[in-house]
């Protein structure tokens, strides 16, 4: 197995984008638990996100959700982020919260509603231009609840047309990233239910269209690392929305429920050249319903780093040899050796050698930042998931 020192530089290429909405209050349809110190503005969300980067060195970009993070002055917001040591990342469009979208947005049977949804995405591209963001991420709540409710095939045609109009608005260095989800809020059909559908639309659109893989958006038992390998082979994996799940789109801390799955996914990212490739954005898409927001985000980026270190430790030469020899259990053993290696002490040394805290979470707690925002942020409307 490689020594930790041999993977140190590759580990340093890891960058994770954090979602602005993770810093707001969130919950379930039963209850949203408000937390003291929760941001009231997008600036406060960015300031909190910057603490994650400061303590870990892992999170230099913050993804925004429009309209939740809409402001009048995007130059000012970009400068504000830079002053805090981070940049604006992916712009997530939102066509799922207006009354007009009850029967869908880009796939809606009503042309005026489709036009409105297309225009919203074009407005998001303007925000990308103003903030220097590269990616427009589209996730659609579109679909149907009952057989016969709408024509499945026509909805795909409308989707293709709407996406093409949005795609035409992209600048030369901008990209469209199409997220899929197999269910919710529509339950009979979903218009972009799987990676195959997303990929087909991306291929039809052109080279600036990529698939976004949200780890929570698959049926139980789905082999997600296979999808990662396949999309990387096709050079169409644009981004991840990392989170973890027990049941569905739980949006829990990545690597918390199944660290071995995260290890396997990151192994395929490394194997397919996705770690060093600028094409693949590693983003979190999480909500912290009961745990503190900033600490939850810190735990998340550290989980990704820890599983990435293990994935980089796989002895690829020995593995290839065992595979070529048809040594089934030998190959599996080599793979598992890397997963079972405890890298925590090496990671602490690695951080220290790069001027970062050995224990980012303890350092963040000791900094008093959380206590400070709890005292300062009183009054005003706390940001929520929406």
Residues 161-220 that bind Mn ion (CB under 5 A): 214
Torsion from C-alpha of 241, 245, 249, 253, nearest 10 degrees? -50
Binding mask 166-205 for ligand PSV (x = CB under 6 A): -------------x-x------------------------
Identify which of residues 166 and 287 has a Cβ nearer to Mn ion in the complex: 287
Residues 323-352 that bind ligand PSV (CB under 6 A): none
- State which residue, 84 or 217, has the beta carbon closest to Mn ion: 217
> How big is the site for ligand PSV, counted in residues (CB under 6 A)?
8
| The Cα angle at residue 280 between residues 279 and 286, in degrees rounded to 5 | 145
For residue 135, give the 3-state DSSP assignment: strand
Determine the Cα–Cα distance for residues 175 and 121; give it in Å rounded to an integer: 12
**Which C-beta is closer to ligand PSV: that of 93 or that of 370?**
93
Secondary structure (DSSP) of 33-98 = ---TT--SSHHHHHHHHHHHHHHHS---EEEEEETTT--S-HHHHHHHHHHTT-EEEEEEE--SSS
Give yes or no for residue 92 binding ligand PSV (CB under 6 A). Answer: yes
Task: Compute the least distance from the CB of residue 28 to ligand PSV, in Å.
Answer: 14
Interface with Mn ion includes 69 (CB under 5 A)? no
Of the ranges 67-75, 239-247, 337-345, 357-365, which one interacts with Mn ion (CB under 5 A)? Answer: 239-247
Say if residues 89 and 136 touch (Cβ distance below 8 Å). no
* Contact flags string 46-75 toward ligand PSV, x per CB under 6 A: ------------------------------
Residue listed under structure tokens 């529509």: 186
Which residue of 225, 241, 251, 306 would you call a contact of Mn ion, by CB under 5 A? 241
The closest of 155, 147, 148 to 197, measured between CA atoms, is 155
Minimum distance from residue 321 beta carbon to Mn ion (Å): 39
Nearer to ligand PSV, 249 or 268 (CB): 249
- Can residue 249 be called a binding residue for Mn ion (CB under 5 A)? no
Measured from the CB atom, the residue of 186 and 370 that comes closer to ligand PSV is 186
Strand locations in the chain (E): 16-19, 61-66, 87-93, 135-138, 143-144, 175-179, 189-190, 209-214, 237-242, 281-284
Q: Mark 280-319 with x for binding to ligand PSV (rule: CB under 6 A) and - for no binding.
A: -----x----------------------------------
Find the length of the chain.
386
Which option in ligand PSV, Mn ion, none does residue 268 bind, with CB closer than 5 to 8 A by kind?
A: none
CA neighbor of 83 nearest in space, from 62, 110, 58: 62
Distance between CA atoms of 252 and 266, rounded to whole angstroms? Answer: 18
Rounded Cα distance between 49 and 32, Å, is 21
Considering the complex, state which of residue 48 and residue 285 has its C-beta at the smaller distance from ligand PSV. 285
Phi, psi for residue 252 in degrees, rounded to 5: -85, 175
Short-list 254, 251, 281, CA closest to 269: 281
Specify whether the CB–CB gap between 64 and 124 falls below 8 A. no
Which of ligand PSV, Mn ion, none has residue 249 at its interface (CB below 5 to 8 Å by kind)?
Answer: ligand PSV
Q: Which of 241, 268, 306, 346 binds ligand PSV (CB under 6 A)?
A: 241
Smallest gap from residue 139 Cβ to Mn ion (A): 6
Given ligand PSV, Mn ion, none, residue 92, with its beta carbon under 5 to 8 Å by kind, binds ligand PSV
225 contributes a contact to ligand PSV by CB under 6 A: no
Ramachandran class of 379: left when φ > 0, alpha when ψ lies in -120 to 50, beta otherwise: left
Minimum Å distance from CB 184 to ligand PSV? 7
Q: How far is CA 308 from CA 40, 56, 251, in A?
A: 34, 15, 20
Least gap, CB of 177 to ligand PSV (angstroms):
10
DSSP state of 32: B
| Residue 285 near Mn ion by CB under 5 A | yes
Closest distance to ligand PSV from the beta carbon of 268 (Å): 21
Please give the torsion angle defined by the CA atoms of residues 98, 102, 108 and 110, in that order, rounded to the nearest 10 degrees. Answer: -80
Q: Which residues bind ligand PSV (CB under 6 A)?
A: 92, 139, 179, 181, 214, 241, 249, 285
Q: Which residues bind Mn ion (CB under 5 A)?
A: 214, 241, 285
């Amino acid at each position: 197995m490689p020594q930790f020192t041999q993977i140190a530089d590759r580990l340093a290429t890891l960058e994770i984008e954090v979602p602005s909405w993770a810093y707001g209050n969130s919950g379930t349809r039963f209850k949203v638990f408000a937390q003291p110190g929760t941001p009231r503005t997008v600036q406060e969300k960015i300031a909190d996100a910057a603490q994650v980067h400061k303590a870990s060195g892992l999170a230099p970009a913050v993804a925004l959700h429009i309209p939740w993070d809409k402001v009048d002055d995007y130059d000012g917001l970009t400068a504000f982020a830079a002053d805090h040591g981070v940049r604006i990342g992916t712009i997530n469009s939102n066509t799922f919260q207006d009354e007009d979208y009850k029967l869908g947005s880009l796939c809606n049977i009503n042309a005026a509603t489709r036009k409105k949804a297309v225009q919203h995405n074009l407005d998001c591209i303007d925000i990308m231009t103003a903030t220097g963001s590269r990616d427009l991420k589209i996730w659609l709540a579109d679909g149907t609840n009952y057989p016969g409710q709408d024509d499945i095939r026509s909805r795909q045609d409308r989707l293709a047309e709407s996406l093409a109009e949005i795609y035409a608005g992209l600048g030369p260095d901008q990209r469209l990233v199409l997220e899929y989800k197999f269910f919710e809020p529509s339950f009979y059909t979903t218009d972009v239910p799987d990676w195959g559908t997303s990929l087909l639309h991306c291929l039809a659109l052109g080279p600036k269209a990529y698939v976004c893989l949200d780890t929570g958006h698959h049926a139980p038992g789905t082999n997600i690392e296979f999808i990662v390998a396949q999309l990387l082979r096709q050079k169409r994996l644009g981004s991840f929305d990392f989170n973890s799940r027990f049941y569905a789109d739980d949006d829990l801390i990545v690597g918390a429920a199944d660290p071995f799955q995260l290890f396997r996914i990151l192994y395929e990212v490394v194997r397919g050249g996705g770690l060093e490739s600028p094409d693949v954005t590693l983003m979190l898409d999480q909500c912290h319903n009961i745990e503190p927001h900033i600490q939850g985000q810190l735990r998340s980026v550290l989980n990704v780093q820890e599983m990435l270190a293990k994935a980089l430790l796989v002895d690829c030469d020995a593995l290839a040899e065992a595979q070529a020899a048809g040594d089934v259990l030998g190959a599996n053993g080599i793979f598992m050796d890397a997963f079972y290696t405890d890298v925590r002490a090496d990671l602490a040394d690695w951080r220290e050698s790069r001027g970062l805290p050995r224990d980012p979470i303890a350092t963040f707690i000791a900094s008093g930042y959380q206590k400070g925002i709890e005292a300062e942020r009183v009054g005003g409307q706390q940001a929520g998931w929406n």
